[in-house]
Amino acid sequence: MAWFLRSKKNIEDSQQREMPDGLFTKCPTCDEVIYKRQFEEQLFTCIKCNHHFRIGSEEYIGIIFDENSFTETDTNIRSSDPLNFVDTKPYTERLADAYRRTDSADALTIGYGTIEGREISFGCMNFDFVGGSMGSVVGEKFYRAAKRAISRKTPLVIISTSGGARMQEAIFSLMQMAKTSAVLSELAEAKLPYISIMTDPTTGGVSASFAMLGDVNIGEPKALIAFAGPRVVEQTIRKKLPEGFQRAESVLKNGFLDMIVHRKDLRATISHVLMLLT
Amino acid sequence: MASNFTLEFEKPVLELEKKIEEMRSLAGTLDIEPQIAELQLKVEELRADIYNNLTRWQRVQIARHPDRPYSSDYFNSTFGNFIELHGDRSFRDDPAIVCGLADLNGESVIVVGHQKGRDTKSNVYRNFGMPNPEGYRKASRMFDLAEKFDKPIICLLDTPGAFPGIEAEDRGQAQAIAANLLKMSRLPVPIIVIVIGEGASGGALGIGIGDRILMLENSWYSVIAPESCSSILWRSWDYKEQAAESLQLTAEDLKANGIIDRIIPEPIGGAHRNTDLMSEILKSVLIEELQELKKIPIKELVRLRREKFAAMGVWETIS
Ligand SMILES: [Zn+2]
């Protein structure tokens, strides 16, 4: 979505159609016109209503890490379609499409770098890659990021955004919930901090595994954080959903987040927590 | 209690069986033993033919058969001295998960299982086997008990999914499941997990981390139920058979893909056709598996458990 940062590939999503000349964008919540320069300064949030636009790992890395301190790792693993999954089209075609439309190798980017001089192991999900869904590659990369934290004795920081499990990897994707949680139990035994940041949306197999397991759970303003998505809940109970249901503010009130942090305060907050935990 | 519910593909066998019974009632007056024997043979052939060639969707249907044994049936047959323990000590008791203490061949264990109802009334009470967060938290309490008293844990999976309701979401369905995955990954006691019916998604996995993952022959285990998969990926409810094929959700599939350790055979025609025999088969498997697990030093067991799940997943490395 950060259209101006992408030089390598053309993006065909609706966001670009909203911004034909690439000079301004419109806030989907309050219709405010936001100019490109302002937008970057505001870390892709709306100046008027604080709407947090969905961004990818590239932007988050720019926001939280010390300049030029981040190194991406494990860029060479790819989904291999173990079940030859076909629905209305083959999974391999969906993957090829996702590689073509995005800069991401899969729905999770991992690496390491420093925040105010402190080394962390890091992972950030990419919603534009098959809805940020978790398959074997996401699970394995998460595992490697956690293992790196353990071997380097550093904290682990993960930014999530996901529609849930990658259905085309069927049982393998379900088991990534177990795999990621199991390695977090090792990280816990090593007494290393894990900060989980949930952005819009964090649902399904991701919220019901590693995203909810932070020593400190942070939500972005208004982020949808849920197990079952609102449409599924609505279909099940056949009632209108209450205002603010499953939004970060109610998740905080219900006791499942430690805090909601504006994107401009994210770096300072991570640093603050880690200073006191390490 | 049999419900007289018959699956479409069960009908030919049941019709022949009925015919044999009718002939038997006439047998006093006529010598038709040879004909009966011949028919009996035909029944066995037909049964073997049907059950050796089940489609994945047919397996799903057997797993959902209303006469199929549920968790509490096994707790009271495979196990002895079962005593149920209630409540999560925080909000309420969730009838969709049944837990307690029991003995397996004389050794005390902690048992946890999803629980469906047999009729409309009990199904409403059990929420059709769909737990709320407090169900997972009750299970978590049992895991603590197991750790404290050093007892093995046996989990029986049989759920169409965790309940997707407003209150369930507000009380942290995602966190409740996630917390169990973490806890089960570090518990210093042997854990055996058996999918006895339906293993749907995170709602099943929420009590499903263990040292041994077993499946009954006609159970299914998947990231999503075939109907929901059809609705999401095909945008129609009509592709459930195809979705079941694509998802590869049978015990055989999961064994072939290295996810489960063992398939537990069922009596021909499914567990519901001979529940006593099913209970005995499960018992002997559990005794055997538990004996094996107890030979492994506990630290090593936890390490192996984590390694087992770490190895799940298939990807390729590009140059
Ligand atoms: Zn706005």
The full set of domain ranges for chain A reads 1-53, 55-277
**Residue-level pLDDT at A15:** 42
Mean pLDDT, residues A80-97 taken together: 94
> In chain A, which among 99-128 make CB contacts under 8 A with chain B?
none
Q: What are residue A180's phi and psi, to 5 degrees?
A: -70, -40
- Contact of B250 with chain A, judged by CB distance below 8 Å, is answered with no
* Tokens standing for residue B225: 């139920």
Phi-psi sector, B27: left (phi>0), alpha (psi -120 to 50), beta: alpha
pLDDT confidence band for B2 (50 / 70 / 90):
low
Q: What is d(CA A234, CA A103) in angstroms, rounded to the nearest whole number?
A: 34
Helix, strand and coil content of chain A, in percent to the nearest 5, comes to 40, 20, 40
Least confident piece of the model among A102-106, A111-115, B296-300, B301-305: A102-106
Taking an 8 Å cut-off on Cβ atoms, the answer to whether A76 and B318 are in contact is yes
- Contact of B201 with chain A, judged by CB distance below 8 Å, is answered with yes
Q: Please count the residue pairs, one from chain A and one from chain B, whose beta carbons lie less than 8 angstroms apart.
A: 204
Taking an 8 Å cut-off on Cβ atoms, the answer to whether A254 and B234 are in contact is no
Least confident piece of the model among A55-64, A114-123, B48-57, B102-111: B48-57
Q: What is d(CA A140, CA B238) in angstroms, rounded to the nearest whole number?
A: 34
Mean pLDDT, residues A251-278 taken together: 98
Q: What is d(CA B212, CA B290) in angstroms, rounded to the nearest whole number?
A: 9
- Contact of B208 with chain A, judged by CB distance below 8 Å, is answered with yes
Quick one: which of B240, B159, B164, B241 has its CA closest to B199? B159
Q: Complex ipTM, two decimals? A: 0.95
Of the two residues A7 and A233, the one the predictor is more confident about is A233
Instruction: Please compute, for residue A199, the number of CA atoms within 13 A of its CA located in the half-sphere on the CB side.
Output: 21
pLDDT confidence band for A152 (50 / 70 / 90):
very high
Residue A34 has pLDDT above 70, yes or no: yes
Average pLDDT score, chain B = 95
Q: In what order do the strands lie in the sheet with A216-219?
A: A71-73, A108-115, A118-125, A156-162, A194-202, A216-219, A259-260
Closest residue of chain B to A146, computed from CA coordinates = B310
Mean pLDDT, residues B77-95 taken together: 98
Tell me the chain B residues in contact with residue A133 when contact means C-beta distances shorter than 8 Å. Answer: none
Residue A270 has pLDDT above 70, yes or no: yes
A162, containing H or E segment: strand A156-162
- Contact of B319 with chain A, judged by CB distance below 8 Å, is answered with yes
Least confident piece of the model among A184-188, A209-213, A264-268, B32-36: B32-36
Q: State CA A191 to chain mean position distance.
A: 24
Q: To which CATH superfamily is domain B58-310 assigned?
A: 2-enoyl-CoA Hydratase; Chain A, domain 1 (3.90.226.10)
Sequence-separated (6 or more) residues with CB below 8 Å from residue B274: B267
Q: What are residue A199's phi and psi, to 5 degrees?
A: -115, 175
**CATH topology assigned to domain A55-277:** 2-enoyl-CoA Hydratase; Chain A, domain 1 (3.90.226)
**Identity of residue B78:** T
* Tokens standing for residue A43: 């870390």
**Residue-level pLDDT at A19:** 40
**Residue-level pLDDT at B95:** 98
**Residue-level pLDDT at A251:** 98
- Contact of B169 with chain A, judged by CB distance below 8 Å, is answered with yes
- Contact of B165 with chain A, judged by CB distance below 8 Å, is answered with yes
* Beta-strand relationship, A118-125 and A108-115: antiparallel
Residues belonging to chain B: 319
Q: What is d(CA B158, CA B178) in angstroms, rounded to the nearest whole number?
A: 18
Q: What confidence tens digit (pLDDT) does each residue in A183-238 have?
A: 999 999 999 999 999 999 999 999 999 999 999 999 999 999 999 999 999 999 99
Q: What confidence tens digit (pLDDT) does each residue in B126-155 have?
A: 999 999 999 999 999 999 999 999 999 999
Torsion of CA A110, A72, A155, B144, to 10 degrees: 20
Residue A145 has pLDDT above 60, yes or no: yes
SS3 B221: strand
* Tokens standing for residue B107: 């050794």
Mean pLDDT, residues B56-78 taken together: 97
Residue B21 CB neighbour total at 10 angstroms: 10
Residue A93 has pLDDT above 60, yes or no: yes
Q: What confidence tens digit (pLDDT) does each residue in B161-218 have?
A: 999 999 999 999 999 999 999 999 999 999 999 999 999 999 999 999 999 999 999 9
Q: What is d(CA B318, CA A185) in angstroms, rounded to the nearest whole number?
A: 30
Contact A112, A144 (CB under 8 A): no
- Contact of A133 with chain B, judged by CB distance below 8 Å, is answered with no
Tell me the chain A residues in contact with residue B309 when contact means C-beta distances shorter than 8 Å. Answer: 175, 178-179, 182
**Residue-level pLDDT at A154:** 98
Taking an 8 Å cut-off on Cβ atoms, the answer to whether B223 and A165 are in contact is yes
Tell me the chain B residues in contact with residue A170 when contact means C-beta distances shorter than 8 Å. Answer: 222-223, 246-249
Of the two residues B194 and B46, the one the predictor is more confident about is B194
String of b and e for B161-178 (b: at least 16 CB within 10 Å)? Answer: bbbbbbebbbbbbbbbbb
pLDDT confidence band for A17 (50 / 70 / 90):
very low
* Beta-strand relationship, A71-73 and A33-35: unpaired
Quick one: which of A56, A49, A61 has its CA closest to A2? A56
Question: Rounded to two decimals, what is the model's pTM?
Answer: 0.94
